[in-house]
């Protein structure tokens, strides 16, 4: 079983809409979770960290369900600039361990 599974998409969403993606993870020892966004041919940029049940930052909300081992990302009032690949990264390390990335979910916001 893969460490993290996401629907690769693409999700085609009209500007202004709300969109949500789920991410399931296999390692129940994962304590921390990160959402990164990656634009085409660019580096991943940290969008949000989740250490408890969830986190909210402006239009972005992450919700963690430990019992079912999934984490979701909700984007409200989507903007054209939100078009990117969103990478869910569970982390069970002790401080200086590498991250395991999947292919992420590709989001396209359409005008």
Q: Which residues bind another protein (CB under 8 A)?
A: 31-32, 34, 41-46, 49, 51, 91, 93-104
Q: CB 14 → another protein: shortest distance, Å? A: 26
Nearer to another protein, 99 or 108 (CB): 99
Least Å distance, CB 17 to another protein, is 27
> Quick count: other Cβ atoms within 10 Å of Cβ 1?
8
Torsion sign across C-alpha atoms 102, 51, 42, 80 = positive
d(CA 58, CA 28): 29
Nearer to another protein by C-beta: 59 or 103?
103
């Amino acid at each position: 079983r893969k460490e993290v599974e996401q629907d690769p998409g693409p999700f085609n969403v009209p500007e202004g809409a709300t969109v949500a993606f789920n991410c399931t993870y296999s390692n129940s020892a994962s304590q921390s979770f990160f959402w990164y966004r990656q634009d085409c041919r660019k580096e991943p940029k940290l969008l949000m960290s989740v250490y408890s049940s969830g986190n909210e930052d402006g239009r972005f909300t992450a919700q963690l369900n430990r019992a079912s081992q999934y984490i979701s990302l909700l984007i409200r009032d989507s903007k054209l600039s939100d078009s990117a690949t969103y990478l869910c990264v569970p982390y069970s390390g002790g401080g200086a361990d590498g991250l395991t990335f999947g292919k992420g979910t590709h989001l396209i916001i359409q005008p």
